Structure 1
């Protein structure tokens, strides 16, 4: 019996039905994809996380021992829907006015659906160039899953020619994006009656000094700007997203914790901001805290770090994907993807995928049917290219 074919829409409906929010396992989705590929004679390799609750999937269509392959990369996890005002079940695709609504339709199960739906087309053309499928976990919480997949599989392959990361770019070719570094800083002071401010150490007040320093750094980065003029906003950004501290207005607070991030331009020294922040905390703030309470502390831990994508104009990736996407130029974006990690593995990489980043992470996330159709045409051109046409 021939293996069942699924259209891109049917495949997307199946993928969205799996709640792969990053806090959950993605194994049911991975098992579905593995079964689907196996039915078409394509074997898979799974790379699990440490507790076997999640897995990456890597599969090759065509001659696995040949260099010059093309990697189609996508993450299987999605962001939470908690607290968002959805007008339909987030994990069931609904069509409205030429759009498919559902969590992950744009970011980025639409790309994965198109790639999987075209596996029969890749096979039918007898690929002379291998097409690799690389599906990862936990991209949304720091590009965690793709790292062991790169180490375990990508670096041991005959070197691929191109990696295409299918994040939503409206099917435009992206050759540069910012990095992301996110941190949690915990300030520990000394509780005291609020009338005795000279004896207590207010964690909130010292945290405010640290946040003020970050905002001054943000102003400096804005002034430095972006020499290329390609990014929006055109500078490295720094922002504080969460803060928690204190227990009552008449108690000098013992602790305060805040979460912050920076999104550096690709050419910024990735250590500059955290190095300057740490130096300010240790040299300017902490001594004054410990003059009152020697056990006071400031601790900053890394939540996530992922590199930017530096432009490689005229690279094999840019040249091929511009041809497949029928684009004449490449763009830069401010969001982060797994592309920078592939680039660190010395593989030319670009971003190109259906849907708009403007819809990602929002209630009633959607992808235009026209975007899926454009991605399908892209995949057909790729199938012809891999088959030697």
Structure 2
């Protein structure tokens, strides 16, 4: 654990909130991996102030194991932290700091493993991916995808180390986030019935979204492995108008849907688009525009496949599905059998003030990765 804790301390010290650069952290990671003999490929973001990374060691071949982590963290603004969020604090078996659970804890375990892998005689390659902008809709991995695909060379399994308390998650829902804009007619509120109120138009749209949610809950596809076993539609923000005595000519809404593997996201999007079209037909001035802000695919890995069984053996734990989204669906979409398994609890600590991870969870993760390393090495490291 000594190396893992030292690396976690360094990683927490980089303030990689999603609206800030991660270049300093990535320079540290690249230097660390290069010094160990890894073949490192930087993957710069189009914006220029962020970077992803692919690294490998061992035979330059297909097979092997791919480990993946994101480097960005959620903001601390507005949270009443009682410990410094960007300095690791160790108290009573807990390690406090932003990102300890989500998910620099796993990244530290990855980088600690890298040193042990460098001393091993690997019969299969060890492959690592670090990304950016996961917390704002898995945007980074989407930008990296086409450059990553030819580098990965078909690993036999990918482990995305999001916090699952070291259970092996074989599935999560996919997501699409949308911005809706509603256009009506401005006018004096004393004459309100003469004009199309954009807020009212948006409210009608929201009412029909709620009816769609009820339908999905009552008669849509179901997967009992999830806490919420059906696809969901959710409005997160809704605003419009400038003054109470002016009929608003514009309103806006941010919404999302999270879908089971059995529900086609394009079909759900088409249904939402049809709701907009039907409302536009109710008034000559009505106009509704939908814009996709972010999207990521779901994950549905068979529990009886070799990849899931191997990771369950290494982790010595059971299988589950998780409510939150990850980058795992992107790797699965590249034809790589993928699971989610990492230290910490998203429900218990993720995105909260005084985020922490139990030291025992990091120790369990180190043990899992050691068993994996023994599997791909010609002899134990």
- Report if aligned partners of 2:301, 2:338 keep a CA contact under 8 Å in 1: no
SS of aligned partner of 1:140? coil
Partner of 1:55: 51
- Structure 1 residue 273 displacement after superposition: 2.2
- Report if aligned partners of 1:90, 1:103 keep a CA contact under 8 Å in 2: yes
Q: Quick one: distance in 2 between partners of 1:18 and 1:251?
A: 48
Q: Quick one: distance in 1 between partners of 2:150 and 2:39?
A: 19
SS of aligned partner of 1:7? helix
Q: Quick one: distance in 2 between partners of 1:162 and 1:353?
A: 15
Listed as ranges, the matches of 1:31-180 within 5 Å are 31-63=27-59, 65-180=60-175
Partner of 1:17: 13
- Structure 1 residue 226 displacement after superposition: 5.3
Pair 1:277 & 2:276 matched? no
- Structure 1 residue 103 displacement after superposition: 0.9
Partner of 1:286: 280
Spell out, residue by residue over 1:155-208, the C-alpha distance to the aligned partner (whole angstroms, 9 max, x if none): 344321111000000000011111111111011111111111232211111100
SS of aligned partner of 2:205? helix
Q: Quick one: distance in 2 between partners of 1:80 and 1:242?
A: 19
Partner of 2:309: 319
Partner of 2:377: 387
Question: Would you say how many aligned residue pairs link Structure 1 and Structure 2?
Answer: 378
* Alignment match of 2:342 (pick from 345, 353, 369): 353
- Structure 1 residue 350 displacement after superposition: 0.5
* Alignment match of 1:330 (pick from 319, 329, 333): 319
Q: Quick one: distance in 1 between partners of 2:115 and 2:172?
A: 33
SS of aligned partner of 1:353? coil
The two structures, once aligned, show a CA RMSD in angstroms of: 1.5
Unaligned runs of 5+ in 1: none
* Alignment match of 1:223 (pick from 181, 201, 218): 218
Q: Quick one: distance in 1 between partners of 2:365 and 2:88?
A: 18
* Alignment match of 1:203 (pick from 198, 204, 218): 198
- Report if aligned partners of 1:62, 1:131 keep a CA contact under 8 Å in 2: yes
- Structure 1 residue 213 displacement after superposition: 0.8
Q: Quick one: distance in 2 between partners of 1:326 and 1:84?
A: 36
Q: From the superposition, tell whether residues 166 and 266 of structure 1 become closer, same or farther in structure 2 (CA, over 3 Å).
A: same
Q: Quick one: distance in 2 between partners of 1:44 and 1:6?
A: 25
- Report if aligned partners of 1:188, 1:297 keep a CA contact under 8 Å in 2: yes
Partner of 1:363: 353
- Structure 1 residue 75 displacement after superposition: 0.6
- Structure 1 residue 78 displacement after superposition: 0.9
Q: Quick one: distance in 1 between partners of 2:254 and 2:341?
A: 31
Partner of 2:294: 304
Stretch moving more, 151-160 or 47-56: 151-160
SS of aligned partner of 2:251? strand
- Report if aligned partners of 2:234, 2:255 keep a CA contact under 8 Å in 1: yes
Q: Quick one: distance in 1 between partners of 2:179 and 2:2?
A: 44
Q: From the superposition, tell whether residues 59 and 156 of structure 1 become closer, same or farther in structure 2 (CA, over 3 Å).
A: closer
Q: Quick one: distance in 2 between partners of 1:387 and 1:320?
A: 15
* Alignment match of 1:268 (pick from 263, 269, 293): 263
- Report if aligned partners of 1:267, 1:310 keep a CA contact under 8 Å in 2: no
Q: Quick one: distance in 1 between partners of 2:122 and 2:377?
A: 4
- Report if aligned partners of 1:168, 1:353 keep a CA contact under 8 Å in 2: yes
Unaligned runs of 5+ in 2: none
